[in-house]
Structure 1
Amino acid sequence: SIKVLQVPAINCPECGIYVSDSMNQKVDEALSIYDVTEYPDEFTYEQLLQAPVKKLFNWK
């Protein structure tokens, strides 16, 4: 498992701090697009967005 830190969140005075559904979706999409295999188990959202794109096809 991994932990993505410093994900942009909403601070609601009534319900506290939470991550919106759209931000959760962006994190999920980024995890499927970017290669984080060389990252430690914890990294920031910014580091996630700077990771190299996964190589899905092995072109020769």
Structure 2
Amino acid sequence: IFGSVNSNKSHFEMGIKDMLEIKSKYEKILDRLITKKLKLADFEQAFKVGGGDIKSIISFG
């Protein structure tokens, strides 16, 4: 789970590794961090301040 600033490929790879480890230990805990799921056309909503969101997912499919 990454922010929109200062992340590169190595951060992405480390994040995937960490998330797989967390998932194996705590099952669905990561699901609680994802508070908003958006379509690509609505991506600007992911950057709005406030509202209590933790992490948003933008679907490219």
TM category (shorter chain) comes to: 0.3 to 0.5
- TM-score, normalising length: structure 2: 0.34
Q: Which has the higher contact order (CA 8 A, sep 6+)?
A: 1
- TM-score, normalising length: structure 1: 0.35
Q: Look at both structures and tell me which one has the larger radius of gyration over its CA atoms.
A: 1
Question: Which structure carries more helix by proportion?
Answer: 2
